[in-house]
Amino acid sequence: MSYQMRTYSTLISISAAFLCSAFKYRRGDKAWLFLALYTGWSFTAECIATLCAYHYGNNLRAYSYTEPVNLLLASLYFNYKNRQLRRFYAGYLAGFAGVCIQAACLPYSTGINSIFTQYECVALTAFSLYHCYSVCAGRRRPAYPEKQAFIISLLFLLFFSGSFFIRASVAFFSDSATDRQIVHRLYALVYYLALIFYTGIAITLIFPRPAPKNLYHA
């Protein structure tokens, strides 16, 4: 698949996720606001990165400024979606820690800091895994919005745990021509994970709440 097709398909999937999450916020709690902000900022960041790629031939510097905001918004989503995380302000702490890590390394980096990206993947993988555990360990049957949040947590878990292992695998390859082809294919997997992630959010949120069943018959 060409770079242009990847770019267009990514923008379409992110915009669909943003529209669905923004509509969900109208009927949901504060956590859905941060999910809408997260997908909206992701769309903005991808547009900025695309423009930088076309005009300057490199978009890594753009991601170094936009990714910390993504981490902060995603952390705040989990902070308000999970009661225990909200109790200890875990989303705020993880989000601002990521911003500080990237800010400290930004003057010495020309692209995305590997320490920050690994931290982002670990933090959001941990949040999504803990939220899935909280839903499964709960004694009561989850309501429909909680089921949607559970699926979205699974999507976060798939995307960021997969990204973590892919980026960790890249570090094992040298700069030979064969290894560069392998690295290129590994980064292509990140694109497919992102496509599944944002499309999954849109599909999860687009379905309305099912009507309650009528248990009484005339």
Q: Give CA–CA dist 175/111, Å, rounded.
A: 18
46-82 pLDDT, tens digit each: 999 999 988 888 888 899 999 999 999 999 999 999 9
Q: Give CA–CA dist 162/112, Å, rounded.
A: 18
Q: Give CA–CA dist 66/44, Å, rounded.
A: 9
Q: How many CA atoms lie within 13 A of 50 on its CB side?
A: 15
Tokens representing 215 are 């248990």
Q: Give CA–CA dist 29/69, Å, rounded.
A: 21
> Residue 25 above 90 pLDDT?
no
Q: Give CA–CA dist 143/80, Å, rounded.
A: 16
186 confidence band (pLDDT: 50, 70, 90) = confident
User: What residue ranges define each of the domains in the chain, with the CATH number in brackets?
Assistant: 3-206 (1.20.1070)
144-184 pLDDT, tens digit each: 889 999 999 999 999 999 999 998 888 777 566 567 788 88
Range in 1-5, 95-99, 117-121 with the lowest mean pLDDT: 1-5
Range in 76-80, 102-106, 189-193 with the lowest mean pLDDT: 102-106
- Average pLDDT of the residues in 106-120: 80
Give the Cβ contact number of residue 69 at 10 Å.
19
Tokens representing 118 are 């690994």
User: Any idea which residue has 């753009």 for tokens?
Assistant: 62
pLDDT above 90 coverage of the chain, percent: 64
Backbone angles phi, psi at 61, to 5 degrees: -65, -35
